Amino acid sequence: MKENMTIGITDARELTSNALAIVSKLSEILSKFGLQLKAPKTSRRLLSTGKDKYPSWFSNVDRKLLAKIDNSNIKPNAIVAMDGSGHFKTIAEALAAAPKQSNVRHVIYVKAGVYKEYITVDKKTINILMYGDGPRKTIVTGNKNYVDGTPTWKTSTFSAIGDGFICRSMGFQNTAGPSKHQAVALRIQSDRSAFFDCRMDGNQDTLYNHANRQFFRNCVISGTIDFIFGDSPTLIQNTLIIARRPMDNQVNTVTAQGKSDANENTGIVIQNCRLVPEQILFPDRFKIATYLGRPWKQYSTTVVMESTLADFIRPEGWAPWAGEAFEDTLYYAEYNNRGPGASLDRRVDWKGYHKIDKNTAMRFTALSFLLSRENWLPQTGIPYIAGLRS
């Protein structure tokens, strides 16, 4: 049975890979015959670039819901409160009672408190909007880790799988510590998911962008090794990214993107963010190396653009993956960054590293990277930068 399942999964991956390859080459083939692949005139138009917009997969209903949260004028479907003043005392209970496969947005308000729970928003629990009293007030915390025998993906304190998950004003922690190695705070597999005013704190592997389209805005993400990692189309905007102090024999790598198929439309894009060391790391920030990323897989794709890089970022910018030679096949790029760590004079000279121009950078904006197939982000009600800042 296990062998048959493995063969089936392998066949499915090969079929998907072949399909992606065919689609990616179609425009190229048509152009050789003087033809173009055009969308019909009746298809939806994407938003204009250069201004703050609402994420396009957010419906008008979602935008109004988030506006009501801002004005403290929303009536949630469920309230979670540890003191018993809500409908449920735990987040798990509220999710268990939520409707399954519902096309209607289900709103869960989680009151202030430290919730020691391991949460999974399962595949059938879709279109959840969960919000708290602030990322330092409503916190979900855990400490599962790899060293103590848990596989990396199962170490996550909070996992969102059901599509359309939106979260606002909550914190997610994994407190295992640097000596415990892989310890995920938040794992996202939900398509068209969005996080606004949230905080993800951990050490190694804090934020696992496992799969499907994801958007983060006005968040805080902290960690040490590979603390933003995975293989999804992920756009992170206007976020504070904090490198923490690792163990003395370790170095910091902000990202570890895991694209293993060149035809996948996946990658990590960091736009208009700030990359800084935490206070404890600051005195040793030049002794302990910090890199923008390293390639987890052969076609690792990461773009850092229009962001502020503090002086602790190593001049070479990027690190190799030990024991692997992905430098020619990866795609790492930088565009229009600022700050003392943004100088490109001494960056790596790998074949896969690029100092890109404005036209190329546009390929990694919200319009092109997340919304090219479906204009879903505005419907979330979360503001976002559609194109480039300038």
Q: Which residues are catalytic?
A: 226
Q: Which residues contact 76 (CB under 8 A, 6 or more apart)?
A: 107, 108, 109, 131
Among 267, 261, 276, 274, which residue's Cα sits nearest to residue 365? 267
Please, what is the Cα angle at 238 between 334 and 80, to 5 degrees?
A: 140
Phi and psi, residue 284, nearest 5°: -110, 20
Type of residue numbered 154: K
CB 105 within 8 A of CB 65: yes
Separation between Cα atoms, residue 319 and residue 313, nearest integer Å: 11
209 beta partners: 188, 230
Q: What is the rounded distance in angstroms from the CA atom of residue 323 to the CA atom of residue 301?
A: 19
Residue 318: helix, strand or coil by DSSP?
Answer: strand
The residue type found at 301 is T
Handedness of CA 275, 278, 282, 285 (dihedral sign): negative
Q: Is 12 exposed, middle or buried (0-12, 13-18, 19+ CB in 10 A)?
A: exposed
DSSP state of 325: -
